[in-house]
Amino acid sequence: MPTKIEKDSLTGRDTTGHEWDGLKELNTPLPKWWLWTFYACIAFSAVWVVIYPSIPGWRGTSGWIAREAVVAEVAEANARNAPMMARLREATPAQIAADPEMRAFATAGGRVAFANNCAGCHGAGGQGAVGGFPSLADDDWLWGGTLEAIQHTIRHGIRSNESDDQRQSQMPRFGADGLLTAAQINDVAEHVLSFTGRATDQAAAGRGAPLYAEQCASCHGDRGEGNREFGAPRLTDQVWLYGGSKRDIVAMIGNARAGVMPAWGQGRLDPAIVNMLTVYVHSLGGGE
Amino acid sequence: MSNVEAPHRAKADRPAEAPVSAAAQPLYATRQKVYPKRVFGKVRSVKWAVLMLCLALYYLVPWLRWDRGPGMPDQAVLVDIANARLFFFWIEIWPQEIYFLTGALILGAFALFAVSSLFGRLWCGFTCPQTVWTDLFMFVERWIQGDRNARMKLDQGPRNANYWARKGLTHAVWLLIAAATGGAWVMYFADAPTVTMEILTGAASIQIYFFFALFAGFTYLLAGWAREQVCTYMCPWPRFQAAMLDENSLVVTYRDWRGEPRGKAKAEGVGDCVDCFACVHVCPTGIDIRDGQQLECIGCGLCVDACDSVMAKLGRPKGLIAFETLKNLSASAAATAGMAPGPERQKAGMAARHMPRFIRPRTMMYGGAIAVVALAMLGAFLLRSTLDVTVLRDRAPLFVRLSDGAIRNGYTVKIVNKRREDTPLVLDLRAPEGFRMVVQDAEHDPQGRPLLARRADAISQYRVLLTAPAGARLAESTPVTFRLLEPNGREAASQSSAFLGPRP
């Protein structure tokens, strides 16, 4: 409580009685309407508390819940998109790509679906990652880069045993299962390196040639050109899924690895979204 | 007015350091209703003219038409929120150019500072919407309920049919004006004739009705009820404009050296102020200008008119209350110190005055700031491009190694076309020999260069892939430039970017 209310000599008005190092404050009364505005705000907040879900457990008399509002908005957006989604569901990826309106919608929606479902392995821009996550932006495809091939891969997956039409192949573990000796694996690896002109031991590469023809050529091709039917990578280019050094190649022959991708079309994603993803992935730069 | 040392304070001769009293001022003040009296004179005429100009601009501008061609709004001034465009006659502002609006606001602020330091509270007294609409509402009130005395009598008198009829009519007219005001506000954001019909037929959207009601409601509340309370208690501007005012600013002032001591017109030995309270009665904020400079004074100068007409009746020189600088006021006071009231004192005081110093560091700085901002805005406006190209390089992946070892970068090219033309543009690349450019979904001209369609008054977007040949000796970053060429080969816009490759 102020104790020393005094008259200010200059203005003749009361002070509040507060003093800070000789500075005194004039008592300028607040207008009453302002005080009432303050009380009105308090009353308003009481009403607010009753109407809205202001306390945990209290749903409010208005029935408005932020979560439900979002759900309603999402439903509304889905309803708005429903005709276009129906068209995307019926159309083939080629038809979508040829229609500017469907293509624009599919690319925009595909970008979001890709970020939600695919980017975890394939990277934000489809750049992939060394160690078995293929790049979708380059011109090298294991199972094919046409719209139809991409759609099939997304729909049925790879080695995930969720679809009868899945992409399926398995490279034998030549070392771990004793199919080839360590020396033979070294020779085959040198032969594989020779496809890209990197063999350092021509004698070993020569020894590897018949082994390669016998064990590998059926899938990877006589000259390492690969085979998309089996998802067998091309061995003549500069894109190596599990690394292209001799050490990597030896490790791969000895103890083969293979990636797995879910079958997104088997109850995971709407067929329309699979089509959108197909068109989007095709547009990343490697589409054929 | 904290930094202004008022030379005279009538209140100063009150007792100092009075003892603590039980009857100390209360913490909350009851509002004293102000009944401003009608006034005639030069300032009032100027105020009427400014009021009519401001209101005419506000209400009529949305109805001005401006032909922009088919498919475009034909309203001269329009804030098109849905399409993110701001139309001002021949100027069309995109959201990216909102700095023009910022610049206009900065210009307005500095103009306000400059005017305040030169002429005092001209903004508050003449052009502030609060003042303009309050003036209009007071005019209605006076027209229906009569002048000051009649209104006071009505308020103190019985609550009879006459009372309710006059009050009811007043509020009805106020609400009508308020509705027109709220309606005009909405018209700046939607086609005026259409939105007017929609509002009248109940077909407008809930947002339109909300803003219509918001502005109508606050016009009624602020101009009808709150009035001077807004200036005194709500508005921050009176508080900090003291920083713009100094002893050379023209402010509404009572020439105390001439008026004091106050007394009856025929009394001997008194000054020119006859203490008739005409200045107090006309004041829209209910203050006494003779108390000196005060926060509540909005500088409207109505007391100047009121006092002048009294002085004219008494046959005394006008200007007892006037737009005057505090410097002149001190000079006059000093020149007349100790002189007896009378024509001699009046002459000596007026002779001591000087032309107000308009050119001073403060006003020069405000003027300079205005010039700099105005020139910058003019420059930006004249150099404003109507066709832009922006190039966004892909960040993920930074680059793609193709199967033959070539390196590829992806770009998103956006054509910002503020024109109505939609002829396609040729995309031309400035890059080292051998770089290949592919634009997805683009046609090509006879020379094989990509043709990019541009939509009129919109942004068109393309994905461009740039490939450096296999085996090329690439730096980690190679500068490249994308150019958009008109069909005649003239460069319409260009944007440089970088081509990234692996660390060499």
Q: What is the ipTM of this complex?
A: 0.76
* Domain assignment of residue B412, yes or no: yes
The chain B residue lying nearest A286, using CA atoms, is B402
Q: Are residues B397 and B347 in the same domain?
A: no
- Inter-residue contact B248 to B210 (CB < 8 Å): no
pLDDT of residue B25: 64
pLDDT of residue B487: 82
Q: Of the candidates A9, A31, A286, which has its C-beta nearest B29's C-beta?
A: A31
CATH assignment of A68-166+261-282?
Answer: 1.10.760.10
State the smallest CA–CA distance between residue A100 and chain B in angstroms. 9
Residues 6+ apart with CB under 8 A from A103: A96, A97, A279, B441
Cβ of B403 and A125 within 8 Å?
A: no
The chain A residue lying nearest B460, using CA atoms, is A104
CA-to-CA distance for B270 and B261, rounded, in angstroms?
Answer: 5
Does B393 reach chain A within 8 Å, measured CB to CB? no
Q: Where are the alpha helices (DSSP H) in chain A?
A: 32-51, 66-90, 93-98, 100-117, 119-122, 147-156, 182-195, 202-215, 217-220, 246-254, 271-282
Residues 6+ apart with CB under 8 A from B104: B377
Chain B residue numbers touching A30 (CB-CB < 8 A): 27-29
CA-to-CA distance for B33 and B424, rounded, in angstroms?
Answer: 68
* The two structure tokens encoding residue B359: 């050119």
Q: What is the full DSSP assignment across B83-140?
A: TTEEEETTEEE-GGGTHHHHHHHHHHHHHHHHHHHHHSSHIIIII-HHHHHHHHHHHH
Closest to A19 (Cα-Cα) out of A35, A9, A33, A5: A5
Phi, psi for residue A282 in degrees, rounded to 5: -60, -30
Q: Of the candidates B11, B233, B408, which has its C-beta nearest A34's C-beta?
A: B233
* Domain assignment of residue B73, yes or no: no
Binding-face residues of B in 231-270 toward A, CB within 8 A: 233
* The two structure tokens encoding residue B22: 């039980």
Binding residues of A for heme c: 118, 121-122, 171, 216, 219-220, 261
User: For residues B419, B421, B426 and B432, what is the CA-based torsion angle, rounded to 10 degrees?
Assistant: -10
* The two structure tokens encoding residue B105: 């606001």
Give the domain-ending residue among B303, B333, B351: B351
Cβ of A238 and B31 within 8 Å?
A: no
Does B18 reach chain A within 8 Å, measured CB to CB? yes
Strand-by-strand arrangement of the B77-80 sheet? B77-80, B85-88, B91-93
* The two structure tokens encoding residue B409: 């970068």
Query: Percent of chain B at pLDDT above 70?
Result: 95
**pLDDT of A145 higher than 50:** yes
* Domain assignment of residue B266, yes or no: yes
In chain B, the largest separation of any two C-alpha atoms, in whole Å, equals 112
Cβ of A4 and B27 within 8 Å?
A: no
Burial grade of A3 (CB within 10 A; 0-12, 13-18, 19 or more): exposed
> Residues for chain A: how many in total?
288
Q: Of the candidates B24, B31, B410, which has its C-beta nearest A32's C-beta?
A: B31
Q: Are residues B338 and B405 in the same domain?
A: no
CA-to-CA distance for B333 and B348, rounded, in angstroms?
Answer: 10
Preferred mutation among A5, A23, A103, A135 to probe B, highest tally of B CBs within 10 A = A5
CATH superfamily assigned to domain A182-254: Cytochrome c-like domain (1.10.760.10)
In angstroms, the first-to-last Cα distance of chain B is 69
Instruction: Give residue-wise pLDDT tens across range A263-273.
Output: 999 989 999 99
Preferred mutation among A16, A34, A36 to probe B, highest tally of B CBs within 10 A = A34
* Domain assignment of residue B74, yes or no: no
The DSSP letter of residue A238 is S
Cβ of A137 and B405 within 8 Å?
A: no
Give the domain-ending residue among B351, B375, B399: B351
Once rounded to an integer, what is the mean pLDDT over residues A65-91?
A: 94
Phi, psi for residue B53 in degrees, rounded to 5: -65, -50
Cβ of B14 and A285 within 8 Å?
A: no
pLDDT of residue A3: 57
Q: Are residues B306 and B411 in the same domain?
A: no
The chain B residue lying nearest A282, using CA atoms, is B440
* Domain assignment of residue B136, yes or no: no
**How many CB atoms lie under 10 A from the CB of residue A181?**
11
Q: Which residues on chain A place their C-beta less than 8 Å from a C-beta of chain B?
A: 4-7, 9-14, 27, 29-35, 100, 103, 123-127, 135, 137-140, 234, 237-239, 283, 285-286
Give the CATH number, domain containing residue B391: 2.60.40.10
3-state secondary structure B238-286: HHHHHHCCCCCCEEEEECHHHHCCCCCCCCCCCCCCCCCCHHHHHCCCC
Cβ of A125 and B396 within 8 Å?
A: yes
Q: Are residues B401 and B445 in the same domain?
A: yes
Q: Which domain holds residue B437?
A: 387-500
CA-to-CA distance for B148 and B138, rounded, in angstroms?
Answer: 11
- Inter-residue contact A93 to A150 (CB < 8 Å): yes
- Inter-residue contact B61 to B76 (CB < 8 Å): yes
pLDDT of residue B424: 86
CA-to-CA distance for B124 and B111, rounded, in angstroms?
Answer: 14
pLDDT of residue A27: 82
Does B21 reach chain A within 8 Å, measured CB to CB? yes
Cβ of A27 and B31 within 8 Å?
A: no
* The two structure tokens encoding residue B261: 């001591």
The DSSP letter of residue B234 is I
State the smallest CA–CA distance between residue A125 and chain B in angstroms. 5
Preferred mutation among B2, B11, B25 to probe A, highest tally of A CBs within 10 A = B25
pLDDT of residue B419: 82
Give me the residues paired with residue B387 across strands. Answer: B417
Q: What does the radius of gyration of chain B's CA atoms come to, in whole angstroms?
A: 33
Instruction: Give residue-wise pLDDT tens across range B424-435.
Output: 889 999 988 889
* The two structure tokens encoding residue A138: 């380059």
Q: Are residues B418 and B482 in the same domain?
A: yes
Once rounded to an integer, what is the mean pLDDT over residues A38-48?
A: 95
- Inter-residue contact B455 to B416 (CB < 8 Å): no
Q: Are residues B304 and B399 in the same domain?
A: no
pLDDT of residue B5: 41
**pLDDT of A201 higher than 80:** yes
pLDDT of residue A4: 64
Q: Are residues B495 and B427 in the same domain?
A: yes
- Inter-residue contact B425 to B492 (CB < 8 Å): yes
Our measurement of the distance from residue A210's CA atom to the centroid of its chain's CA atoms, rounded to an integer in Å, reads 43
Does B27 reach chain A within 8 Å, measured CB to CB? yes
Cβ of A137 and B395 within 8 Å?
A: no
Interface size between A and B, measured as CB pairs under 8 A: 101
Per-residue pLDDT of chain B (504 residues; tens, 9 = 90+): 344 444 444 444 444 444 444 455 677 888 889 999 999 999 999 999 999 999 999 999 999 999 888 878 889 999 998 888 899 998 888 888 888 889 999 999 999 999 999 988 899 999 999 999 999 999 999 999 999 999 999 999 899 999 999 999 999 999 999 999 999 999 999 999 999 999 999 888 899 999 999 999 999 999 999 999 999 888 998 888 888 888 899 999 999 999 888 888 888 888 889 999 999 999 999 999 998 888 889 999 999 999 999 999 998 899 999 999 999 999 999 999 888 888 888 888 898 889 888 899 999 999 999 999 999 999 988 888 888 899 999 888 889 888 888 999 999 999 888 887 788 889 999 988 889 998 877 888 888 788 888 888 888 888 899 999 888 888 889 999 999 998 888 888 899 999 999 887
State the smallest CA–CA distance between residue B67 and chain A in angstroms. 31
Q: Are residues B345 and B391 in the same domain?
A: no
Give me the residues paired with residue A19 across strands. Answer: A24
**How many CB atoms lie under 10 A from the CB of residue B385?**
10
Give the domain-ending residue among B333, B351, B369: B351
Q: What does the radius of gyration of chain A's CA atoms come to, in whole angstroms?
A: 35
Closest to B397 (Cα-Cα) out of A96, A9, A134: A134
Quote the number of domains for chain B. 2
**How many CB atoms lie under 10 A from the CB of residue B175?**
15
> Residues for chain B: how many in total?
504
Chain A residue numbers touching B402 (CB-CB < 8 A): 138-140, 238-239
Residues 6+ apart with CB under 8 A from B14: A7, A12
Task: Say which residue the tokens 């909005």 belong to.
Answer: B298
Chain B residue numbers touching A23 (CB-CB < 8 A): none
State the smallest CA–CA distance between residue A127 and chain B in angstroms. 5
- Inter-residue contact B44 to B135 (CB < 8 Å): no
CA-to-CA distance for B129 and B222, rounded, in angstroms?
Answer: 10
- Inter-residue contact A40 to A33 (CB < 8 Å): no
Phi, psi for residue A187 in degrees, rounded to 5: -65, -45
pLDDT of residue B132: 95
- Inter-residue contact B380 to B103 (CB < 8 Å): yes
Cβ of A237 and B404 within 8 Å?
A: yes
Q: Are residues B331 and B412 in the same domain?
A: no
**CATH 1.10.760.10 residue ranges in chain A?**
68-166+261-282, 182-254
Pick B24 or A231 by higher pLDDT.
A231
Quick check: bond before B446 cis, omega within 30?
no
* Domain assignment of residue B18, yes or no: no
Angle at A108 between CA A106 and CA A112, to 5 degrees: 105
In angstroms, the first-to-last Cα distance of chain A is 84
Instruction: Give residue-wise pLDDT tens across range A96-108.
Output: 999 989 999 999 9
State the smallest CA–CA distance between residue B463 and chain A in angstroms. 9
